[in-house]
Amino acid sequence: MSDTSVATPSGIDTAAIRAAARNLDDGAVTEGYQANRQEVITMLNGALATELVCIARYKRHYYTVSGRDNGTIKAEFLEHAEQEQEHADWLAERIVQLNGKPDFNPATLLERSHAEYDDSDDVQSMVKANLIAERVAIESYRQMIVKIGETDPTTRHLLIKIMAVEEEHADDMRDLME
């Protein structure tokens, strides 16, 4: 098949696609990418910071909650920390795919995070802080999804997938409220 063809019967200009694909500097980002890449990377780094703060908060709560009756809550905190880590990994990977650099700088983590850290000592305060943080994450992801719209379907899909888990986390925390 020749690279001089103009369009296939489906209307796709394969010659142009093949020529553009030879620009290897942009990695996974092709010529048809419609979003403002730097803006998306900045949003994703904010989400990454949020996930990292959530990991730290859930881990602290996991290690500090005590009491014979709190085993279920302790297990829930650990499960959420592990899922937040998975989200952080997905976000960092997407940032790299967009030719950005994931920002793990601990010195600026809290100021970049949408959610807050919490060092409560009593279980119900921990649960409440986590519920609030999940609600913050849900709304942050919703706003990012709206802002991206249809300009970056891959990032949009990722954010929707993460937001769905954050909604499950919020339900879990609400169920643990006394």
Q: For the whole model, what pTM was predicted?
A: 0.89
Task: Write the pLDDT tens digit of every residue in 152-169.
Answer: 999 999 999 999 999 999
Question: Quick check: 91 and 98 in contact, CB under 8 A?
Answer: no
CA pair distance 148, 1, nearest whole angstrom: 37
The structural domains of the chain, ordered by start, are: 1-32 (no CATH), 34-176 (1.20.1260.10)
Q: Which residues of 75-85 are buried (b: 16+ CB within 10 A; e: fewer)?
A: ebbeebbebbb
User: SS3 for 108?
Assistant: coil
Task: Write the pLDDT tens digit of every residue in 107-150.
Answer: 999 999 999 999 999 999 999 999 999 999 999 999 999 999 99
Q: Which residue type does 122 have? A: D
Indicate the average pLDDT of the chain.
Answer: 92
- Residues annotated within the binding site for Fe cation are 51, 87, 134, 166, 169
The 8 Å CB, 24+ separation contacts for 130-133 are 130/57, 130/58, 130/61, 130/77, 130/80, 130/169, 130/173, 131/170, 131/173, 131/174, 131/177, 133/53, 133/54, 133/57
Under the banding of pLDDT at 50, 70 and 90, the label for residue 6 is: low
What pLDDT is stored for residue 2 in this prediction? 46
**pLDDT(4) > 60:** no
- Residues annotated within the binding site are 51, 87, 134, 166, 169
5-19 mean pLDDT: 75
CA pair distance 140, 132, nearest whole angstrom: 12
Question: Quick check: 18 and 7 in contact, CB under 8 A?
Answer: no
Task: Write the pLDDT tens digit of every residue in 29-71.
Answer: 877 788 899 999 999 999 999 999 999 999 999 999 988 889 9
Among the listed ranges 8-22, 83-97, 139-153, which one has the minimum average pLDDT value? 8-22
Instruction: Count Cβ atoms within 10 A of the Cβ of residue 6 and give its class: 0-12 exposed, 13-18 middle, 19 or more buried.
Output: exposed
**Closest by CA position to 132, among listed 70, 29, 54, 47:** 54
